[in-house]
């Protein structure tokens, strides 16, 4: 007796639309056998047809077994991707020619960022995302010490599918403090 033959299911690629998951459905494969008119077919691993799947890759495996306990397996992959990049909006009011202007803090040569004044005002995505800036590769500038100078700060949002969006603010930190000296009596 030969092993049962399982119809191969083609790999499935789907994209999310407005959410971080999508319902994926397929029909169980057909099975034939030379001696058994109705061999058993069972899904032995992977998600179920009709299940909502998050972004990622999934492997589905079926096994067919005939009356003589001859068996064979078939696998296919499901790939769920998010085609939409994150939405990111930087704090309004700065351009390369008109940066956010701040003076250094008293007695030091840097400006301490006040709260979230330089953070993006909006970041959203269908799925989760990571937010970073090119100043110190963190997700906030709150409380950070920006040195004297004029420079752009680029904010980048990257989602689970590798989609990227960015926006840029410009800052100019000025040291407007006069030097001081102490007079010593000898």
Q: What is the pLDDT of residue 36?
A: 81
Q: What is the model's pLDDT at position 135?
A: 97
- pLDDT block averages, 10 residues each, the chain of length 186: 90 92 95 86 96 95 92 96 93 94 92 96 89 97 96 95 94 87 73
pLDDT in tens, 27-77: 999 998 888 888 899 999 999 999 999 999 999 999 999 988 989 999 999
Distance, in Å, from the CA atom of 110 to the CA atom of 96, rounded to the nearest integer, reads 20
Return the sign of the alpha-carbon dihedral for residues 133, 136, 138, 143.
negative
Model pLDDT, residue 114: 96
pLDDT at 109: 92
User: Tell me, what's the pLDDT at 106?
Assistant: 87
Tokens of 33: 């056998």
Instruction: List the one residue out of 10, 5, 12 whose CA is nearest residue 63.
Output: 5
pLDDT at 182: 73
At 148, is the secondary structure helix, strand, or coil? Answer: coil
Confidence (pTM): 0.75
pLDDT at 1 (0 to 100): 63
């Amino acid at each position: 007796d030969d092993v049962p033959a399982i119809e191969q299911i083609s790999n499935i690629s789907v994209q999310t639309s407005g959410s971080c998951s999508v319902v994926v459905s397929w029909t169980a494969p057909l099975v034939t056998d030379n001696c058994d008119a109705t061999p058993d077919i069972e899904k032995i691993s992977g998600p179920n047809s009709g299940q909502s799947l998050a972004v990622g890759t999934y492997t589905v495996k079926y096994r067919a077994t005939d009356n003589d306990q001859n068996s064979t397996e078939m696998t296919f992959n499901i790939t769920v991707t998010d085609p939409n990049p994150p939405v990111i909006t930087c704090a309004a009011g700065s351009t390369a020619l008109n940066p956010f202007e701040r003076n250094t803090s008293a007695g030091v040569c840097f400006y301490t960022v006040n709260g979230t004044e330089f953070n993006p005002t909006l970041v959203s995505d269908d799925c989760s995302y990571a937010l970073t800036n090119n100043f110190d590769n963190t997700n906030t500038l709150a409380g950070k010490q920006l040195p004297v100078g004029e420079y752009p700060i680029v904010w980048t949002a990257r989602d689970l599918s590798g989609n990227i969006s960015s926006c840029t603010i410009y800052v100019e930190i000025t040291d407007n403090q006069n030097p001081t000296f102490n007079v010593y009596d000898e």
